[in-house]
Structure 1
Amino acid sequence: MMIFINCANPVNSPLYVETGTCLNGEKSSNVSLLRRSYVNVGGMKASDLMELCSLERMTLLPVKDYKNMPYKEIHSQLAYGFELSWHNSRCGSCAYGCYIDDSNRKHCVGGSWRWITPAVLKNGSVIIAILQGAKFIFGSPFVIAFLIYKWRRRHLSAYDTVEEFLQTHNNLMPVVRYSYSAIKKMTGGFKEELGKGGFGCVYKGKLRSGSSAAIKLLGKSKANGQDFINEVATIGRIRHTNVVQLVGFCAEGSKRALVYDFMPNGSLNNFIFSQERAVSLSWEKLHEISLGVAHGIQYLHRGCEMQILHFDIKPHNILLDEHFTPKISDFGLARLCPANESLKSLTAPGGTIGYMAPELFYKNIEHVSYKADVYSFGMLLLEMAGRRKNLNALAENSSQIYWPDWVHDQVSNEKAIEIGDGSTEEEQKIVKKMVIAGLRCIQMNPLNRPAMNEVVEMLEGDMESLQLPPRPVLNLDEKPMNTCGESSSMSDYSSESVSLIENAYN
């Protein structure tokens, strides 16, 4: 309890602490001429009240040790405040509780805002709470509306980019544009899923002619639709035995799809890694497939008006038709490159680890060229020759964890490569040819890798004419040639990249 006392005469008592300030707005100099102000902390008896003294104010104080408390501490405790509470039983018949006003009169709370009286609003924390609540209630819709606006602007920009590209080159692309409803009808409501990749799901469908098709439904693009533009711009106008055929496409707002010829034998990935396949490919057929893939990449690099860099050659992206003819697919990362110019920008490297050339992620290597595809093909070739992943942490022998190093040592020491029981001498030559060609392709320095026309010659020629290259070692001090490419610290796809693709049609 804190009691403020006003006295006419000075008081000398430990129960009375002089305030040293004024009450009722009077200055201390005037107080000394009129009456003196004291404060008592802890409570006092009626007999302790001195003559000519009167009680001015009383208030509760949240303090237990109040003996010998100086006025400065008393002021601090008073400024800190106190909590006033009472039991609900004091509210009597009030249904929602009650409060006491300045005149100590009880008022019931009626479950509405009517209980907020001027007395209650004197509490600043209540006002702050009300303002914060109002800010949240009325501000949230505006924040949500702003986020929706930004999201729509970003996606509309992507839609505009795709639509502008399609309208500009509508007469130059010999492919069919389908509506989304037609795509849905062809797939029977996306009933049969063939596979799933980094850019979306692939479903089996049927064209009006009755032939089967593979329809890739693209997912949400992080590159403003550039993956869609890349595929349409590259394989939309080229024809080659070893490149998958684009039949048509769909572009309706955020819904995009690509329609390809159906490949009944799926991907090469299933035949060289899976042990459960009923059909096992012979070494002659694997060699034939590797040569077909090499011809396809050679065509992309040299057979078009502009070089097409695939950037994602791997077994999963090599499809096989009913005759096991290989078809290069998935051009979502592909880039067009002028024959005698450098690209101004490339997207951030997004190929598959294990097949990506070192220049795609080592900043010390300055330029990216078609030799990146050569490296990826080399890794593919070695996996075909070993019928296993190049990196296998579960290999029985620790020396065989990284297949390229192990097989290099085998050939270097003139040891036979294990390709299964009952293999013929001709099959051994085929595997050794594929291994040496693959090791040539995966040299760390792009300067030391052959072009794809040389790879074709190696696979078609005699094994005796091939020389084993050094074991691939990364030397970051060597700088590769600037055949076509830009710094591997690649920027995001810019509008200039779209212009480059568009120029391929002009």
Structure 2
Amino acid sequence: MDNHPIPSLLKSIVTITSSFFFFFSIALPQSYAQENNAYSACSQPYSCGSVTNISYPFWGQNRESFCGKSGFQLMCQNHLNTTIQVGSQTFNVLQIDQTGFTMRLALPESSYNLCPPNISNTSLSGSPFSFLPNTVQNITVFYDCPLQISGINSFKCQNNSSKQAFYVNGAQLQRASGFDRCGYRVQVPVSVDIPLDSLKNALDKGFDVKYDDPDCENCKASGGICGTNQNNSSTFSCYCHDGTTNSDCSASRTKNSKRNKVMKLALGFLATGVGLPLLAVTICKNKEKIWRFIKRKIGNKKEDRKIETFLQSQGPLALERYSFSDLKKMTDSFKVKLGEGGYGVVYKGKLLDGCEVAVKLLHEANEDSEEFINEVASISKTSHVNVVTLLGFCIEGRRRALVYEFMSNGSLEKFISKKKPGDESVATLSWDTLYQIAKGTARGLDYLHKGCNTRILHFDIKPHNILLDEKYHPKISDFGLAKLNTKEESIISISNARGTIGYVAPEVWNKSIGGVSHKSDVYSYGMMLLEMVGGQKSTNIGSEGSSGSGSELYFPPLMMYKKLEAGSDDVGARGVTSDEENEIAKKMTMVGLWCIQTIPAQRPTMSRVMEMLEASVDSLEIPPKPFMSSPSTSPSEFSFILTSFQSTL
């Protein structure tokens, strides 16, 4: 009986029938089932906090998201404040003019009276808003300034009376001096008609922004209610009495009539018994392709649900959600490639307002959503001059992408790696510039470790992930391997080794050395410092053509340490031409060697690293010798360990 053809035939019929209805349901327009329940849900204006009589594109509180538009969610606090997330910042909403498509925003006082501030440069890039022309001016605020500096428009910081801050307008900024000693500098917008005698008054009065609403006019004129598709928030929907369209209600009845005809024809086709035999033949001929298609669809849906659940758990994010067609437009069909990494390819793009961006298109082969979630979860919580800004993202089937601010000078890697003979296409950075990059990266990493509400461990600090703007200011990027933990947690648990060989702390792959913590990032930073000094890529250790023998071949910092231990001023730095440059190189070497101590507890924190970089060379102690610089294994065995570790990443 087990081999009887009847059970097999019944199974085939069930499979074919299920497949038919599966493909049939895919083929039907989504809006066929999306009737006019949304019409009544979105038809009445609502109030949010102190702002009343609000409608599309705004939504929030008890207002369904499909009644509004992405980027227009309002947060309501009874009859008090109304706030909105724009970029990485939260603004108070003072008023909304839906007739003129304008809105007045203001920074919360708690965000700009602290040192260091909770704000960064105010930018509307990647948001649906733009500054109202001829109504806004930028002022520059200098925070965390030494008390010795004097100047106009100063104020004390609420949380640190030993520090002070200054603010100047554009004209005053041209004459400003001495403010390069301040810790932070940000630009914030104010109305041009507000006097600058008080920073609080100028910022509390707010500034005006505008937005566009081109899709909604025809819908409202035809008697419809504007909203977005309940299954795709990036698609406009016009909710009508008798259904839903993507334009206006005049086409609603015609479309519903056509859909009814399609449904009747399809059901008649099935009822006559003609459809199933034809479908069976098609499936039998293409069963492998169809099965792969179904598996891929199910897998993608699972990952998509995982991402959507994560996004909802984060609450309102200050990120724009783009469609894939948006990405093609902004990158000119991915014309200019900036670089490529293990998780995706980065292309140059431009937003509608002319702002340049970098679009990271994640590899479709990477079906796991961890890279995407890590990036959004970590970087969306940051706002720092030395951390790259994430502007938006795209999720569309297997296509996933991240949109960042554009860094015109690319990564640090191309400036410190040894160039091929005759290659003059990449400029050589001065030692002072390298020193400033080292300090800026340390500030950014210190912020990630203790400046956020949640501690962020990067786990992939290396020159490739340090981006440089037009003035060579560094910004930490690529948070795909990042881990988040509370500030109370010092040791974290990771399931697999993560990072790039040559920069990974030993405790990440050898648990007997110690626990994984923020000190693991310190190690990676130290290896990067030593690479900046010597121009020897950490990932090239043990490669053919390297000089040295024994353990020196596999751990180049040992040579630097031996020179320091012998009292030599020459630490093997490249291109040093003066005593000042040699002092910078020596200081970076000593700090780097402290950072790569094998035992995590012996490494400094990033706060201490910043102090050491500002101190004189003579005040720094020579660090202990990292004992892993002399492995007991033979060169071939040590190379095997590195290769084995690399295969686990």
TM over 0.5, yes or no? yes
Give, in whole Å, the separation in 1 of the partners of 2:604 and 2:490. Answer: 20
The amino acid across from 1:186 in the alignment is M
Q: Distance in 1 between matches of 2:301 and 2:492?
A: 26
* Aligned match of 1:256: 400
Q: Give me the whole-angstrom Cα distance separating, in 2, the residues matched to 1:326 and 1:274.
A: 20
Counterpart of 1:291 (choices 433, 439, 443) is: 439
**Structure 1 counterpart of 2:604:** 450
How far is the alpha carbon of 1:429 from its aligned partner? 1.1
Q: How many matched pairs?
A: 340
Displacement of 1:290 in angstroms is 0.4
Aligned counterpart, 1:409: 562
Q: Among residues 432, 437, 456, which one is paired with 2:591 in the alignment?
A: 437
Residue 377 of structure 1: how far off its partner (Å): 0.2
Counterpart Cα distance in 1 of 2:493 and 2:294: 30
Summarize the Cα distance change of 1:142–1:431 in structure 2 as closer, same or farther, 3 Å threshold.
same
Gaps of 5+ in 2: 1-281, 630-644
Moved more, 155-164 or 193-202: 155-164
Higher relative contact order (CA 8 A, sep 6+): 1
**Are the equivalent residues in 1 in contact too, given 2:345–2:360 (CA < 8 A)?**
yes
Give the Cα separation in 1 of the matches to 2:374 and 2:547: 42
Residue in 2 that maps onto 1:75: none
CA contact (8 A) 2:514 2:599 kept: no
Residue 473 to residue 220, structure 1, CA distance change in 2 (3 Å): farther
The answer to whether the 8 A contact 2:414-2:426 is kept is no
Contact 2:300 2:367 in 1 (8 A): no
Mapped partners of 1:375, 1:409: distance in 2: 19
Amino acid at match of 2:580: E
Other-structure match for 1:382: 530
Within 1, Cα distance between the matches of 2:349 and 2:366?
26
The residue number in structure 2 matching 1:197 is: 341
Matches within 5 A, 1:242-281: 242-275=386-419, 276=423, 277-281=425-429
The structure whose residues are more often strand, as a share, is: 2
C-alpha displacement of 1:474: 3.9
- Alpha-carbon distance in 1 for matches of 2:355, 2:620: 44
State the alpha-carbon separation in 1 of the partners of residues 305 and 505 from structure 2: 34
- Report what 1:465 is aligned to: 619
Which residue of structure 2 aligns with residue 162 of structure 1?
Answer: 307
Shift of 1:253: 2.2
Cα offsets for 1:81-139 (capped at 9, x unmatched): xxxxxxxxxxxxxxxxxxxxxxxxxxxxxxxxxxxxxxxxxxxxxxxxxxxxxxxx999
Matches within 5 A, 1:133-144: none
Q: What amino acid sits opposite 1:157 in the alignment?
A: K
1:420–1:379: structure 2 CA closer, same or farther, 3 Å change rule?
closer
How far off is 1:298 after superposition? 0.2
Runs of 4+ in 1 over 4 A off after TM superposition: 137-148, 342-345
1:211 aligns with 2:355: yes
| Cα deviations by residue, 1:166-214 (Å, 9 ceiling, x for unpaired) | 234352x112111111011101111111100011000000011102111
Structure 1 residue 470: deviation in Å? 1.8
Give the Cα–Cα distance (whole angstroms) in 2 for the partners of residues 195 and 164 of structure 1.
31
Q: Distance in 2 between matches of 1:451 and 1:138?
A: 62
The separation in 2 between residues aligned to 1:344 and 1:368, in whole angstroms, is: 6
**1:97 paired residue number:** none
Q: Classify 1:152/1:244 alpha carbon distance in 2 versus 1 (closer, same or farther; 3 Å).
A: same
Q: Deviations over 1:425-471 (max 9, x none)?
A: 12111111101100111111111111100111111111111111122
* Aligned-pair Cα RMSD in Å: 2.6
- 1:357 to 2:501 alignment: no
Aligned pair partner of 1:282 in 430, 434, 459 = 430
Q: Which has the larger radius of gyration?
A: 1
Flag the 1:344–1:274 CA change in 2: closer, same or farther, 3 A. Answer: closer
TM-score (norm. length: structure 1): 0.63
Match of 2:97 in 1: none
Task: Give the unaligned 5+ runs of structure 1.
Answer: 1-136, 476-488, 493-506
Deviation of residue 375 (structure 1)?
A: 0.4
**Distance verdict in 2 for CA 1:165–1:278, change over 3 Å:** closer
> What's the CA shift string for 1:50-104, capped at 9, x where partnerless?
xxxxxxxxxxxxxxxxxxxxxxxxxxxxxxxxxxxxxxxxxxxxxxxxxxxxxxx
